[in-house]
A and B are shown apart, each in its own frame.
Chain A
Amino acid sequence: MGFDNAYEAITEEVDDHRWAFGTGFVEPLSGIDAALPTGVAGDDVAAYCLMLGDDALIMSHRLQQWLTNAPELEEETALANIALDLLGQARLLFTRAGAADGSGRDEDAYAFLRSEAEFRNVRLVEPVDIDFAGLVVRLLVFSTWRLALLQRLRGTHDPILSAVAGRGVNEVTYHRDYAAQWVVRLGDGTDFSRQRIIAALAVVAPFVDELFVASDIERRLVDVDVAVQPSALRPEVEAVLIEVLGSAGLVWPHGCAANTVAADAPAAAGHDGRHLAELRDAVAELQSVARACPGAVW
Chain B
Amino acid sequence: MTGHAEAVTRARAIAGSVPDPELPMLTLADLGVLRDVVAVGEHLQVSLTPTYLGCPALREMGQDVCRRLAAAGFDDVEVRTVLSPPWTTDWITGEGRRKLADAGIAPPHPAPRRAAGPVPLTLTLERPQVACPNCGSSRTAQVSAFGATACRALYRCSTCAEPFEYVKEI
Digit string of A146-190 for contact with B (CB within 8 Å is 1, else 0)?
A: 011001000000011011101111110110111011001000000
Cα-based distance from A171 to B170 in the complex (angstroms):
8
Output the least CB separation between A73 and chain B (Å): 9
- A17-B24, A89-B54, A170-B86 known; A78+B118 contact, CB < 8 A: no
Q: Is the CB of A31 within 8 A of B62?
A: no
B24: chain A residues at CB < 8 Å are 1, 17
Q: Is the CB of B121 within 8 A of A176?
A: yes
What is the total number of residues of chain A having a CB less than 8 Å from a CB of chain B? 58
- A29-B81, A164-B53 known; A78+B144 contact, CB < 8 A: yes
- A171-B170, A240-B121 known; A163+B83 contact, CB < 8 A: yes
Q: Is the CB of A21 within 8 A of B119?
A: no
Digit string of A66-107 for contact with B (CB within 8 Å is 1, else 0)?
A: 000000001101101110111111011000000000000000
What is the total number of residues of chain B having a CB less than 8 Å from a CB of chain A? 50
B141 within 8 A of A: no
Q: Is the CB of A173 within 8 A of B119?
A: yes
A7 within 8 A of B: no
Q: Is the CB of A243 within 8 A of B123?
A: yes
Of listed B60, B119, B168, residue having the most chain A CB within 10 A: B119
Digit string of A243-280 for contact with B (CB within 8 Å is 1, else 0)?
A: 11001000000000000000000000000000000000
- A30-B79, A31-B81, A174-B145 known; A19+B54 contact, CB < 8 A: no
Q: Is the CB of A82 within 8 A of B84?
A: no
**Chain B residue at smallest Cβ distance from A176:** B121
- A164-B83, A170-B86, A174-B145 known; A92+B119 contact, CB < 8 A: no
Contact partner of B19 among A16, A78, A236, CB < 8 A? A16
B59 within 8 A of A: yes
A114 within 8 A of B: no
A25 within 8 A of B: yes
**Chain B residue at smallest Cβ distance from A171:** B52
B143 within 8 A of A: yes
Q: Is the CB of B53 within 8 A of A85?
A: yes
Output the least CB separation between A55 and chain B (Å): 14
Output the least CB separation between A18 and chain B (Å): 7
B68 within 8 A of A: yes
Q: Is the CB of B123 within 8 A of A247?
A: yes
Q: Is the CB of A162 within 8 A of B121?
A: no
B47: chain A residues at CB < 8 Å are 31
B56 within 8 A of A: yes
B80 within 8 A of A: yes
Contact partner of B80 among A30, A75, A89, A181, CB < 8 A? A30
**Chain B residues proximal to chain A, CB less than 8 Å:** 18-19, 21, 24, 45, 47, 50, 52-60, 62-64, 67-68, 78-88, 111, 118-119, 121-124, 143-150, 154, 168, 170
Given contacts A84-B54, A171-B170, 14 further A-B contacts (CB under 8 A): A19-B56, A28-B58, A29-B81, A32-B82, A78-B144, A88-B50, A88-B52, A147-B119, A166-B85, A166-B86, A167-B83, A174-B170, A176-B121, A240-B121
